[in-house]
């Protein structure tokens, strides 16, 4: 993962680099570092710190070093513990080459051993430092930097992008990209480089997305771009006007809480957006105005299919839908399986992206693949997308980030209107994914003649109602949670979550949410599996949280599972719907919320579940928006 930022130009680099680093902290915040060729003595000056960009900035603010070429790094640790030594930048023995790196060098142990045997001294345990030492040995053997780079990349494996500064060549910034993104911003006598162009989006709109397997030699006024075998590549500059929006927490204590409350709006905006899609002719969705809600027509335009590059023939001959995702997005996809199979009656398979690439792949031209990802950058999902693309099967990116790699590489794009999600734990992205997939399942069914335009309209209304209930449920239970329950449940060390049918993937999401922000151990099971082993875990120290459903048959089964817990003196927390008295009276603690259309039951419970977890975590005084060891965008496999 990690975020890289670099600058070369007429101006001082430090401020540019720091601004970029702050914007890229979503890629990791284990440590941060900055290096430049100090204009005062023309040698490297650097500093690095464990912790995020703030601790680094505090230390660096006491110094004055700066230069016209420099770079910075924000780290998510892969190789080597989180400490100052393992923070980037890294150097070769002579300290004439500095590197910042994103990705993983596979088999670096052998290179490191070889270099140590040749007399190199290492200061960190990272894979990155190997590149600096290796390049230090390769560079003197070649007449040009370009030729040295050809040899360097031929010896590296894995997925990586990195930037090098050579102290002896202060007019050049060297960039290498292999399966991890690296973007160049072209300015006026200055160049910017970053893992994500948002790092410098207020400085220039002229963007060069480095192609995969390429390296570049960047001067303040020019770019040389080469393939890994040294062939010059054409430089394509795109104009990208998206700006980094510095999102304010408003009155909320954490971004997570703000984003929990954003959900009603995110869902209604997204549904309204799809309703008026007829007026949208290309991917410039951001230009659609916010006046969506007044659209009452039941006429649905075909623009969605153009947007998704799907023909009518393809839609009608679909025999399988596949969704590929990780983490919370995978849970959203698992919930959506019920939508596609129930509403469209099309067999639907859900794939965990980290496993997908390593399983047998049966290419079926009558299938589509929907890649579900908040960031659109998750390496596991992106690599799965590349594999599917190689079979020329239709792919759709459902993401929150229109400029992401997945949107660029998939054949179609389903945008969400959730707005930027800052907190590492996914909240509004998850619920908006669920809402979008529900809308899409209905739209597909409409196109195939399985439902009428009136039913489609009803489905949209149901989504609006679900968004209302999502927020109302929080309000109903807010006082109890904040004044009594959060304190009580923060004292437990472990929880078990149970769900059945459509509430099972939702229970998985709840368990993930609790684990990742509170660090409380949580395990999730399908409620029916309890009796096959996990029931042995029931004791008075392990609250069992059951999420109900609105399907009557499944609800009856859930009651039986709740009885099994109570018969063993288990402590039962229930999320139920109004009227589900048989379940509610079994509970030690019940959250009851208004009824809704059955397939949207998880969506209705989402806000309340997140709010409960948030407040338990707040009691424990955890860094809620930036939990330990995590990153917002997981760009390594």
What are the residue numbers of the active site?
A: 2, 632
| Pick 268 or 375: Cβ nearer ligand M6R | 375
Interface with ligand M6R, residue 375, by CB under 6 A:
yes
Contacting residues for 606 by C-beta, under 8 A, at least 6 apart? 263, 427, 430, 431, 434, 470, 506
- 425 touches ligand M6R (CB under 6 A): yes
Instruction: Name the percent of the chain in helix, strand, coil, to the closest 5.
Output: 40, 20, 35
Sign, CA torsion 567/573/575/581? positive
Angle 481-483-489 from CA coordinates, rounded to 5°: 55
**Residue 344 in contact with residue 324, Cβ under 8 Å?**
no
Rounded-to-integer distance, Cα 512 and Cα 606, Å: 13
Number of helices followed by number of strands (H, E) in the chain? 19, 24
| Selected binder of ligand M6R within 424, 498, 510, 511 (CB under 6 A) | 424
Closest of 465, 450, 432, 478 to residue 601, by C-alpha: 465
Q: Which stretch binds ligand M6R (CB under 6 A): 30-38, 212-220, 324-332, 546-554?
A: 324-332
Should residue 266 be labelled a site residue for ligand M6R when binding is judged by CB under 6 A? no
Q: Does 270 bind ligand M6R (CB under 6 A)?
A: no
Tell me the window of 43-51, 70-78, 367-375, 537-545 that interacts with ligand M6R (CB under 6 A).
367-375
Measured from the CB atom, the residue of 535 and 634 that comes closer to ligand M6R is 634
**Min. distance of Cβ 326 from ligand M6R in angstroms?**
4
Window contacting ligand M6R (CB under 6 A); options: 52-60, 180-188, 276-284, 374-382: 374-382
Provide the minimum distance between the beta carbon of 401 and ligand M6R in the complex, in angstroms, as a whole number. Answer: 8
Nearest alpha carbon to residue 439 among 509, 328, 447, 609: 447
For ligand M6R, the closer CB: 329 or 580: 329
**Residue 15: CB atoms within 10 Å:** 11
Residue 432 three-state SS = helix
495 phi and psi angles, rounded to 5 deg: -135, 155
Q: How far is the CB of 632 from ligand M6R (least distance, A)?
A: 7
Sign of CA dihedral 531, 533, 536, 537: negative
Of 148-156, 289-297, 423-431, 480-488: span binding ligand M6R (CB under 6 A) = 423-431
Contact status: 635 vs ligand M6R (CB under 6 A): no
| CB of 216 or CB of 326, closer to ligand M6R | 326
Tokens coding 437: 């997939």
Interface with ligand M6R includes 69 (CB under 6 A)? no
381 forms part of the interface with ligand M6R (CB under 6 A): yes
374 binds ligand M6R (CB under 6 A): yes
36 and 88 Cβ atoms separated by less than 8 Å: no
Query: Does 538 contact ligand M6R by CB under 6 A?
Result: no
DSSP β-ladder status, 348-352 and 320-325: parallel
The single residue among 92, 96, 126, 329 that binds ligand M6R, judged by CB under 6 A, is 329
Minimum distance from residue 373 beta carbon to ligand M6R (Å): 3
Q: Residue 394: CB partners within 8 Å, gap ≥ 6?
A: 308, 309, 310, 314, 367, 368, 369, 411, 412
Of residues 195 and 378, the one with the C-beta less far from ligand M6R: 378
Q: Is 609 one of the binding residues for ligand M6R (CB under 6 A)?
A: no
Contact between 404 and ligand M6R by CB under 6 A: the answer reads no
Of 91 and 614, nearer to ligand M6R (C-beta) is 614
Q: Which one among 129, 259, 462, 516 touches ligand M6R, defined by CB under 6 A?
A: 516
Number of residues that bind ligand M6R (CB under 6 A): 15
Taking contact as CB under 6 A, which single stretch among the options 142-150, 287-295, 373-381, 482-490 is the one that binds ligand M6R?
A: 373-381
Distance between CA atoms of 48 and 35, rounded to whole angstroms?
A: 9
Q: Quickly count: other Cβ atoms within 10 Å of residue 64's Cβ.
A: 10
Residue nearest to ligand M6R (CB): 327
Stretch that binds ligand M6R, among 99-107, 368-376, 464-472, 476-484 (CB under 6 A): 368-376
C-alpha 259/C-alpha 270 separation (Å) is: 15
Would you count residue 328 as binding ligand M6R (CB under 6 A)?
A: yes
Tell me: does residue 634 bind ligand M6R (CB under 6 A): yes
Residues contributing to the site for ligand M6R (CB under 6 A):
326-329, 373-375, 378, 381, 424-426, 516, 630, 634
């Amino acid at each position: 993962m990690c975020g890289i930022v670099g600058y070369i130009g007429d101006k001082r680099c430090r401020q540019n680099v720091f601004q970029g680093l702050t914007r890229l902290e979503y890629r990791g915040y284990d440590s941060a570092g900055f290096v430049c060729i100090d204009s005062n003595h023309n040698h490297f000056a650097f500093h690095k710190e464990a912790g995020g960009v703030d601790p680094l900035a505090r230390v660096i603010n006491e110094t004055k070093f700066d230069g016209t070429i420099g770079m910075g790094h924000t780290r998510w640790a892969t190789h080597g513990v989180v400490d100052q030594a393992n923070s980037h930048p890294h150097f070769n023995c002579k300290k004439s080459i500095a590197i910042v790196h994103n990705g993983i060098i596979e088999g670096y142990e052998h290179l490191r051993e070889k270099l140590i045997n040749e007399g190199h001294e290492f200061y960190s345990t990272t894979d990155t430092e190997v590149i600096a030492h290796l390049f230090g040995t390769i560079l003197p053997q070649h007449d040009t930097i370009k030729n040295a780079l050809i040899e360097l990349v031929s010896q590296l494996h894995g997925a990586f992008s990195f930037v090098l500064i050579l102290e002896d060549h202060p007019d050049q910034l060297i960039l290498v990209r292999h399966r991890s993104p690296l973007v160049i911003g072209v300015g006026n006598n200055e160049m910017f480089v970053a893992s994500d162009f948002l790092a410098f989006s207020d400085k220039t709109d002229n963007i060069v997305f480095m192609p995969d397997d390429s390296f570049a030699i960047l001067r303040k006024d020019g770019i040389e771009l080469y393939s890994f075998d040294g062939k010059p590549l054409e430089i394509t500059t795109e104009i990208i006007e998206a700006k980094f929006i510095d999102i304010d927490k408003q009155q909320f204590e954490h971004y997570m809480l703000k984003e929990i409350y954003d959900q009603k709006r995110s869902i209604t905006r997204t549904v309204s957006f799809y309703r008026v899609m007829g007026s949208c002719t290309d991917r410039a969705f951001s230009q659609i105005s916010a006046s969506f809600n007044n659209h009452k027509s039941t006429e649905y335009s075909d623009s969605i299919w153009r947007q998704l590059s799907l023909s009518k023939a393809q839609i009608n001959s679909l025999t399988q839908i596949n969704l590929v995702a990780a983490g919370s997005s995978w849970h959203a996809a698992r919930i959506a399986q019920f939508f596609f199979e129930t509403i469209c009656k099309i067999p639907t398979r859900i794939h965990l992206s980290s496993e997908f690439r390593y399983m047998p792949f049966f290419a079926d031209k009558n299938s589509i693949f929907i890649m579900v990802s908040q960031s659109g950058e998750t390496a596991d999902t992106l690599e799965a997308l590349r594999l599917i693309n190689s079979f020329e099967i239709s792919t759709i990116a459902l993401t929150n980030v229109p400029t992401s790699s997945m949107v660029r590489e998939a054949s179609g794009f389903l945008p969400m209107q959730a707005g930027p999600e800052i907190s590492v734990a996914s909240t509004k992205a998850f619920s908006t994914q669920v809402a979008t997939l529900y809308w899409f399942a209905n739209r597909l069914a409409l196109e195939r003649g399985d439902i009428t335009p009136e039913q489609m309209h009803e489905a949209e209304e149901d989504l609006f109602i679900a968004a209302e209930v999502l927020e109302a449920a929080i309000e109903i239970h807010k006082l109890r949670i904040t004044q009594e329950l959060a304190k009580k449940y923060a004292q437990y060390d472990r929880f078990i979550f149970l769900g059945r049918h459509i509430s099972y993937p939702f229970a998985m999401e709840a368990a993930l949410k609790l684990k990742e922000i509170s660090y409380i151990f949580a395990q999730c099971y399908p409620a029916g599996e309890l009796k096959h082993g996990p029931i042995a875990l029931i004791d008075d120290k392990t609250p069992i949280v059951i999420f109900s459903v609105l399907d009557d048959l499944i609800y009856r089964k859930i009651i039986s599972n709740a009885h099994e817990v109570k018969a063993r003196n288990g402590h039962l927390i229930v999320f139920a719907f109004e009227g589900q008295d048989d379940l509610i009276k079994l509970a030690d603690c019940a959250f009851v919320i208004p009824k809704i259309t059955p397939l949207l039951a998880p969506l209705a419970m989402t806000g309340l579940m997140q709010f409960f977890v948030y407040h338990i975590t707040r009691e424990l005084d955890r860094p809620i928006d930036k939990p330990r060891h995590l990153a917002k965008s997981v760009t390594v496999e």
